[in-house]
Amino acid sequence: MKRILLVCVAACLFSTGFAQVDTTGKKSSNDTIRIGGMIIVKKPGTNEREIIRNDRTVRIPSRKQKPDNLTTNWWIIDLGYAGFNDKTNYASAAAQTFAPGSTEDWFDLRGGKSRNVNVWFFMQRLNMIEHVVNLKYGLGLELNNYFFDDERIRFQKNPTLITMDATLKDAKKNKLAADYLTVPLMLNFNFTPNKRNGFGFSGGVSAGYLYSARQKTKIGSDKDKIRNDFDLKRWKLSYIGELNLGPVKLYGSYAFENMWDKGLDQTPYNVGFRMSNW
């Protein structure tokens, strides 16, 4: 009975974190407590313990720690493709007033160039049911760059118009950038809550505010940048989702409605890879 009591007392002392060096004076990479003829060893980087007495070793396995109810992931990066579903009626008066002479071909995008980059300052995951069902939300920037196949397209301001400009025919770059400050809100299903790179999916909505828009062109070494909202809608509401496949994480979004205030009917979407801790 005395031996059992001694082992229990020693284990409790060790669990408080008061690691000591054994009485032999030798340095050890393990945390060690020596009590009489008994030695308790904690392996570095683990919660496993071993009790050694009379050349007999008893291993005490580590206890699993429950995930925190609220976890935070800082500085998440998304890299993907930015596009839009064009449902404009180019024969309508509204379309021809906003973009005189326009056709669907005007707005063909360069698939290898048009891109979406999102920088999320943080995302948090709040446990709702057994760490399997969670509420996920955050704050960040959505950066969309639409590169056009036809380099002659020109976005004008005062008044806002979209035209074809022959002086841009030799442009090396012609893009429309639309950047949003965005808040995502999702319901997250995490099927492996005890793993860092688990398996699951999320779905929800996001609200974004257009804080910057511009057209940027480059002819030779000359660059031109025009800043204006070009009658893009200030607010963008989107359906959003993500898929976690261990270390591989995918994301996507599709806006509720057209991104223009007038003339055109183009609904934006993004798909790509997410670089995140969970």
* pLDDT, tens only, 62-84: 655 678 899 999 999 999 999 99
- Residue 95, φ and ψ in degrees, nearest 5: -65, -40
Task: Read off the pLDDT of residues 192-233 as tens digits, 9 standing for 90 and up.
Answer: 998 888 899 999 999 999 999 999 999 988 899 999 999 999
pLDDT band at 258 (very low <50, low <70, confident <90, very high): very high
Alpha-carbon span 16 to 9, nearest angstrom? 11
| pLDDT attached to residue 221 | 86
Domain 70-275 coded CATH 3.40.50:
no
Q: How far apart are CA 224 and CA 57, in angstroms?
A: 75
Model confidence at 47: pLDDT above 80: no
Check residue 112 and give its pLDDT: 86
How far apart are alpha carbons 222 and 217 in whole angstroms? Answer: 8
Domain extents for the chain?
2-60, 70-275
Please determine, for residue 29, whether its predicted confidence score (pLDDT) is greater than 60: no
pLDDT at 7: 45
Percent of the chain at pLDDT above 70?
80
Whether 123 shows a pLDDT value over 60: the answer reads: yes
DSSP 263: S
- Residues 242/250, Cβ–Cβ less than 8 Å: yes
Is residue 127 within 8 A of residue 70, CB to CB? The reply is yes
Tens digits of per-residue pLDDT, 146-194?
A: 999 999 999 999 999 999 999 999 898 999 999 999 999 999 999 999 8
Is the per-residue pLDDT at 129 higher than 50?
A: yes
Checking if the pLDDT of 268 tops 80, the result is yes
User: In the structure encoding, which two tokens stand for residue 18, read together?
Assistant: 């008061």
Predicted pLDDT of residue 43:
66
- Output the average pLDDT for the chain: 87
Q: Average the pLDDT over 8-18 and give the result.
A: 46
Indicate the pLDDT class of residue 241, thresholds 50, 70 and 90.
very high
pLDDT of residue 17: 43
For position 14, what pLDDT does the model report?
A: 45
pLDDT value at position 22? 46
CA-to-CA distance for 163 and 83, rounded, in angstroms? 20
Rounded distance between C-alpha atoms, residue 258 and residue 25, angstroms: 74
